[in-house]
Amino acid sequence: MSSGSKKIVVIGIASNAVVTVIKFISAFVATSASMMNEAIHSLMDTLNQLFLLFGLIASEKAPDQDYAFGHNQKKFIWNLWSAIGLFSIGSGLGLYHAYHSYSIMGETEIEAVSISILNFNISGILLAFIVLSISFVIEGNAWRVAMKEFRQRTKDIDISVVEYISEAKDPTLVAMILEDSIAMFGILLALIGISLSYVTGNPFWDILFSSLIAMLLGVAAVFLGRVNMIYLSDIRHLEIEEVFINICKAHNEVELCHDVKSIIMDESNIILVAEVEVREEALIDNIQSDIEHVKVNIADNVEFRDERSAVFATVRRIDHLIEDLTRQLKQKHPEVQSVTIEVGIYQS
């Protein structure tokens, strides 16, 4: 598990927990639909990131009898539950609250109460602006940490944030960047909605923008659900398969490469299996010297000494071929953790 991913998740949980509390307080004081949906948004972010953390912890377990390739995919299950459940619930609650606020308020103006803090009387509207400003700073810091991790991971490759998110290079980091970005955008929407309602005296604007905030949660649910489904569907990594095929084509001992398949266990654990057929002349080239080298380590009185030497030398040469192909692939794609190659002799 990436320590960077865990760090940004923990920071996100702490940030959103604080923001959730102050937003709910402000929402009740200001009687603002936008602020209430922002509070729901932050609550869903907090719960979602808790799910992300549980998933990261579960994925740390070493391979065992039931999970031969490790528990890596468990984090995607937790992420999927979070995306479909929490964000969908959050979106539904937000839209319902917006509808409920509209049915109650209609076109009438609602007076916000005030709150006394340290003997200062602060109106609900002013409190909402203060809370949203503080929330923007806190969310911005969490976003900054996530972007720092993104830049650290992509310092050696040319890829934009949009490309990284769309290709889902690391679903956990993608979730954090997306959630923090949507959170900041949601705060701006809430500020616009509250401001328009305050200026015009019409709460419809507050309700309208609160609906947009709820829809943002729905968009996040669909996208993050899709991202995590990719890693739970035994999807192939076609780019890595193509790289392996090209390695085989360039290798002077390989005649054919076929039945190349890969499985993405997670973003840092990819399995590849393939069948290759080696050239007979390449396999037997200078094989006699290898046989003689093996033979000196076999006692003279051992039965079938010559045959054993030939078999051992041939197997050793095939092992070296497999090791060479595997090494070249892992040099280009370190995320490949397991390579299984079946070797046969090419028959023209």
pLDDT in tens, the chain (348 residues): 455 678 888 888 888 899 889 888 888 877 777 788 788 878 888 888 888 888 888 888 887 887 777 777 788 888 888 777 767 787 888 888 788 878 876 555 555 555 666 666 667 678 888 888 998 998 898 889 888 888 887 777 777 777 777 776 677 788 888 888 888 998 899 899 889 988 888 888 888 988 998 888 888 888 888 877 777 776 788 899 999 999 999 998 888 999 999 988 877 788 999 999 988 777 777 666 666 666 666 666 566 666 667 777 777 888 888 999 999 999 999 989 899 999 888 776
CB-based contacts of 118-121 (< 8 A; 24+ apart in sequence): none
The per-residue pLDDT for 324 is 93
Alpha helices in the chain (DSSP H): 3-30, 33-59, 74-81, 88-105, 124-153, 161-167, 171-200, 204-230, 238-250, 280-284, 287-295, 305-332
Are the C-beta atoms of residues 339 and 326 closer than 8 Å to each other?
yes
CATH level 2 (architecture), domain 238-345 = 2-Layer Sandwich (3.30)
Give the up-direction half-sphere exposure of residue 326: CA atoms within 13 A in the CB hemisphere.
17
139-164 pLDDT tens trace: 898 889 888 888 887 777 777 777 77
Specify the CATH number for 3-230; select among 2.40.50, 1.10.238, 1.20.1510, 1.10.3470.
1.20.1510
pTM for the predicted model, two decimal places: 0.70
Spans of all domains in the chain: 3-230, 238-345
